[in-house]
Chain A
């Protein structure tokens, strides 16, 4: 039984389309004078953030509140966690408080998986980003944005759409989740990065890999630019910011070579001048702001489908890869 959203790889195509369709309904409610729905009244959702991420936390908080859930924000900073309390003890505390759902952001890959499978808590776990592993709701909101812009049809997937993801793939949980989800939805994904920022083993992923942005741009329906941290330069992942921007950044000239209806995406926060120029970031083809708005709808959909009934609506696949091997 899938009670958690840990990895985009756990979602079947039907699951993913159901979440996108549900998010469309949620988006409709967002246009109304009264945005609140009574659906999760009496449910308690804890935002357990071991890493600072105000944007993501606010998005989950808004989603939970629109569904009338009680929201408890638990930030590791200034809490007992920074005094050495373990994830386990924190989890046991949340369990004692009766958390129905735990939204967790953690610096360690696998921490949400551990929380979900260790038996420490009984509620649903939603991964809000773990280390360099996954960020499934980000991928869902990206897919939602793409479906609206490129397909415009509910019930549909992203079959045949050509999506290019550019940047620091190695350290990107957004990229991992997107590769899984977009390929599940039938899109053709191409990763573009300097070889230093691609993981060893990437050739086993369901996507193409290129080192040449210009070669891929003209064949892309959507180009997703990932944030590249300047610190990576010091670890010799690339020589200089200037060289990175020249080879892998998106500027107006490159954007002009993209197909007419192609969009530019960015999960934010943007490094203007690094992976994306201001001209591109502010162009109507850039969906960065839209992605943020869509994030609330997607997170409402996920919370509703996981917590809106006695059991989740997502597929019951007992052989999910999140299960232990033995």
Chain B
């Protein structure tokens, strides 16, 4: 494929500001101003579209190796590019588990070869996600994959001693442990949020306290050992309160929220449609409102998709037999626009902060999450924020279609994505990337 050396964006609204021209050259943002000229540049008439830094996801399940029937590094990074992402953190719960330098390097290399989106693997905290023995965190850190985030996501590091050791150990190389906060005994067999709806539906409840008690313990542990901890997919109002308190103490705690927890509630489970089955479960309206507020005031640092693809047969079944999780990469920005921007809770600069700057900073990811200014890497996404359309999974680049938004009207459409100046998405369509087959 030929690389575009120069691209001129006309009338782009950087972080939602006044329309300006942006010249991309040689992988970086070369110039920003009014009436820029570049005779040899490809011109993109943006029509006042919003220009944001390329999005960074701290929480993506690419499924490769092991579950290539649901997603691969190729399909997952294509989905990421379509969603406006230029970097994703690939979770460790693959088969085999990403608990050695070998596995994380394989995933990293695949991402690099395909070239749609940078893939930064997340390393497992414990061997085989078993929660018993620390994985070789240092080796993963030192590998070519440059692992900085460690997580047993899908499972909670529930043993307090193991969690303490992990938090302490990663201090040596400024790593961060991303905790999937789920007290296992309180959630054995749990199917949905415990509350009014679970009582009626007869589905085993997943109490908020199972999440909150782990978060409370872990922020205390992180403070005690002087390390930093990141909380995955915060889902309850109580979790927000604990994180807010921990931050008020000056402790090094960060947190993410998924798009679906900003929008959907457990009332949807009344349909028994497994597309709404997810971990952590959909909570109540009050939780959703608390999460939005916390994302707005910065208590929650960032939005992470928890993109969790599953093959059709794992969702086309009864609730109890269904897998947990939703795809999210290709709808995340739309859901955030719908829940946070259109409601006035965030402006586009803050969206850039919550979906690019902060996740890159938490993951210590260089070259991403940078301001849109001359000299910076041209990792960019152009968003037609005025677009309104129904979600149709048939158009997904992801191999899986388990979206809870099918048929729902959502605002915003990613029209272009650039990875270091090279377009991965043009006019909302993927373009061949370097190394792509």
A: which residues have CB within 8 A of B? 9, 86-88, 106-111, 113-114, 117-118, 130-134, 173, 176, 199-202, 204-205, 321, 323-326
Q: Give the contacting residue for B202; candidates A114, A118, A131, A325; CB below 8 A.
A: A131
SS of A interface (majority): loop
Q: Quote the shortest CB–CB distance from A50 to chain B (angstroms).
A: 9
4 closest residue pairs by CB, A with B: A133-B202, A201-B199, A108-B320, A110-B272
Distance A130 CA – B203 CA, assembled complex (angstroms):
10
Q: Quote the shortest CB–CB distance from A128 to chain B (angstroms).
A: 14
Known: A114-B318, A201-B197. A109 touches B202 (CB 8 A): yes
**A–B Cβ pairs within 8 angstroms, 22 of them:** A86-B313, A107-B320, A108-B318, A110-B201, A110-B320, A111-B319, A114-B273, A118-B316, A133-B201, A173-B202, A200-B194, A200-B198, A200-B199, A201-B195, A201-B197, A204-B199, A205-B199, A321-B270, A325-B268, A325-B271, A326-B268, A326-B408
Distance A126 CA – B428 CA, assembled complex (angstroms):
47
In the complex, are the beta carbons of B200 and A176 less than 8 A apart? Answer: yes
Q: Is B394 an interface residue (CB 8 A)?
A: no
B: which residues have CB within 8 A of A? 191, 194-205, 207, 267-268, 270-273, 313, 316-321, 407-408
In the complex, are the beta carbons of A111 and B271 less than 8 A apart? Answer: no
Distance A321 CA – B200 CA, assembled complex (angstroms):
12
Contacts of A9 in B (CB 8 A): 200
In the complex, are the beta carbons of A201 and B196 less than 8 A apart? Answer: yes
Contacts of B268 in A (CB 8 A): 325-326
Minimal Cβ-Cβ distance residue in B for A321: B270
Contacts across chains A and B counted by CB atoms under 8 Å? 91
Q: Which of B200, B271, B317 has the most chain A CB atoms inside 10 A of its CB?
A: B200
In the complex, are the beta carbons of A88 and B267 less than 8 A apart? Answer: no
Q: Quote the shortest CB–CB distance from A1 to chain B (angstroms).
A: 18
Contacts of A117 in B (CB 8 A): 271-272
Q: Quote the shortest CB–CB distance from B255 to chain A (angstroms).
A: 25
Distance A173 CA – B320 CA, assembled complex (angstroms):
16
Known: A108-B320, A111-B320, A200-B194. A325 touches B199 (CB 8 A): no
Beyond the given A109-B201, A111-B320, A200-B199, please list 4 additional residue pairs across the A-B interface where CB-CB is below 8 A.
A130-B202, A173-B202, A201-B195, A205-B199
Distance A118 CA – B318 CA, assembled complex (angstroms):
10
Distance A87 CA – B319 CA, assembled complex (angstroms):
11
In the complex, are the beta carbons of A88 and B202 less than 8 A apart? Answer: no
Distance A134 CA – B202 CA, assembled complex (angstroms):
8
Distance A325 CA – B267 CA, assembled complex (angstroms):
8
Contacts of B318 in A (CB 8 A): 87, 106, 108, 110-111, 114
Q: Give the contacting residue for B407; candidates A108, A111, A205, A326; CB below 8 A.
A: A326
Contacts of B191 in A (CB 8 A): 109
Distance A232 CA – B202 CA, assembled complex (angstroms):
17
Contacts of A108 in B (CB 8 A): 318-321
Q: Quote the shortest CB–CB distance from B275 to chain A (angstroms).
A: 10
